[in-house]
Each structure stands twice: as structure tokens, then as C-alpha cells.
Amino acid sequence: MTLEYGLLIIAIIMIIIRNMKINCYDRADVMTTRFHNSKRIYTKKSKYQKIEVFKDKNLGHILSIDGDVQLSEYDEINYHEMLVHVPMAYVKPTNVLIIGGGDGGTLREVCKYPDITNIVMVEIDHEVINASKRFFVNFRSAFADPRVTLKIMDAFKYLKEDNGILFDAVFIDVTDFNQSDSLFTQESIQNLKLRMASDAVLGLNFTSVGIAEPKTPVRVLNESGFGERFKHKRLFQSHQPVFTGGAYTFAFFSDSVDPLDFPSSFPVDDLELETHYYTSALHKASFVLPKRLMSD
């Protein structure tokens, strides 16, 4: 074998190793978070998107959609507890609507409230639910709750129909690209409001805090279609270490409830709900944004 052949083989092996070792990442425009010890264990191209599951030594299973990290078993608790328990502190709902959330994490938290009698979950892609049931053991049991009605359909279409149900709490837990776009149209928001009780609350997975963004999250909120159509709109935050930048904002919307009018007692305490991230003290603190994120 010649020297050139040897060098060539070494070079090719080096390239392969560099590309093999790290195979899951969360990408923002400014920087990328790469997971050291993750291995892809599942890939499915559904009708709507590419669903992947990675197994990471430290973070557990990671769900990725179209190459974008959606959640890890390590920090999904932060996200789902905040998205659900913050809005739920202001209502005593019997009817709850979840749009998206096919992984089941939002559903798991909603199911913790014993007074709810009816939970409708509208998820466009059954393959997300399949992947989640198979790889995310912490979400599995929620799907078996008898109060849950699963609708595999486009939420845009679901909201058009009047099913005679007025929802007391709505949670939107969707990707912010592709098939979610129709949800954020004026028509869709208008239809959503027709399905909500007058004292209902809405929680939305809003946006990563991001880095060096041209607009603050508050400005994005004020300019958003949802922001324009609800009397009260506020952002609250969580740590999401596996997302690039590490911080995430959720949006709270309501026509009757200003979330800064905190309740005198919180369901998490009154009902002794089991949580790992959320507390009533954190609930209040989560609405306090750093000054630089507040400007309009």
C-alpha cells in the first residue's frame, strides 16, 4: 500500500468519526447545542414530518421533529409543568382542550386535576403519539386516562366545527413551523375564541428566549395574532437546558384573567399535586422577565 492510500484512508476515517460521534443537536441561528452521548434509535417519516428519537446517556430519550429538538426526558418536566400548571391556577376547568402535544407531556400534567371531566386532544400526526408511547415511558399512562378523547386531525379544521363544548382551559403545544402555520391565522384564532368559555385561559408554548434576536419576546407577543385578540397577555419563563440558549417563554392569554392577579391559594398546594419543577413561588417569579426582554 502506498503512503497516499494510507493517508487517504486515515482522512476518511477521521471525517466519519467526527460525523458519527455527535448526532443530535438543537440549532439556533447563532449557536448550536450538541449532545455528546446521544445515539439515534428511531426514525420515521410521517405524512407531515420527520420524527426521530435519540437516546442520550445523561438526558434520556430525546424527541426531534424535522431536525429540531422538541424535548428530552431530562427537562421535559420543566416545560410541561409550567405550560399547564400556570394557566390552571386561575380556573376550575371541567373541559380542557389540548392542541398538538402529541408526545403526551402536556396531557400528563392536565390529567393531574381530578375535577376535569373532559379532555380533548387534537394532534395532526399519529406517528408522534406512536413514537412517544413507544419511547417515553413517562407519558404513556396519560393516553389511557378515560377522560381523554383523541382527535387525529388538523386543529385548524377542528376549531371550525362547533361541537357544543366550551373549553375552560386550552393548551397549545405545537412546533413553530410547517403544519402549525395555519393555527396562527386570524381565522383560526377567531374560531378558537368561539370554543372558549368567557372566563377561559389559554397557555401557548411561545418561543425560546433566543440570542441576539432582532425583537424581544414581549414585542413578538404584542405583534402576534393572539396578542391582538386577547385582553390579557403575559409571558412566563422556564429553564430548558437542552434548547439553545437555555430559557423558554410561554404565553398566557385570557379575556377575563390577568395572571398577575395571583390567586390567594394555588391548586398545586391545595390539591397537593406532585410536581418536580413548578411551585407556587416559582409561578409568581416566572412572570418577572429580565429588563432587556421586556422592551417593546
The answer to whether residue 249 forms part of the interface with a second copy (CB under 8 A) is no
Among 2, 20, 144, 272, binds a second copy (CB under 8 A): 2
- Residue 258 CB, shortest distance to a second copy, in Å, is 16
Q: Specify whether 173 is catalytic.
A: yes
The answer to whether residue 11 forms part of the interface with a second copy (CB under 8 A) is yes
Among 8, 137, 152, 194, binds a second copy (CB under 8 A): 8
> DSSP of 117-177, one letter per residue?
-EEEEEES-HHHHHHHHHH-HHHHGGGG-TTEEEEES-HHHHHHS--S--EEEEEEE--SS
Of the pair 5, 164, the CB lying nearest a second copy is at 5
Nearest to 252 by CA among 239, 234, 238, 237: 234
The answer to whether residue 153 forms part of the interface with a second copy (CB under 8 A) is no
The answer to whether residue 30 forms part of the interface with a second copy (CB under 8 A) is yes
The answer to whether residue 79 forms part of the interface with a second copy (CB under 8 A) is no
The answer to whether residue 284 forms part of the interface with a second copy (CB under 8 A) is yes
Among 152, 194, 211, 271, binds a second copy (CB under 8 A): 211
The answer to whether residue 247 forms part of the interface with a second copy (CB under 8 A) is yes
Sheet order of strands, 68-72 included = 38-45, 50-56, 60-65, 68-72
Rounded to an integer, what distance in angstroms lies between the CA atom of residue 184 and that of residue 150? 22
Nearest to 39 by CA among 51, 52, 28: 52
The answer to whether residue 246 forms part of the interface with a second copy (CB under 8 A) is yes
Kindly report each contact of residues 187-190 with a partner whose C-beta sits within 8 Å and lies 24 or more positions away, as own/partner: 188/155, 188/156, 188/159, 189/225, 189/226, 189/229, 190/229
Catalytic residues: 173
Residues of this chain that bind a second copy (CB under 8 A): 2, 4-5, 7-8, 11-12, 14-15, 18, 22, 29-37, 56, 58-59, 74-75, 77-78, 209-212, 238-247, 275-279, 281-282, 284-286, 288-292
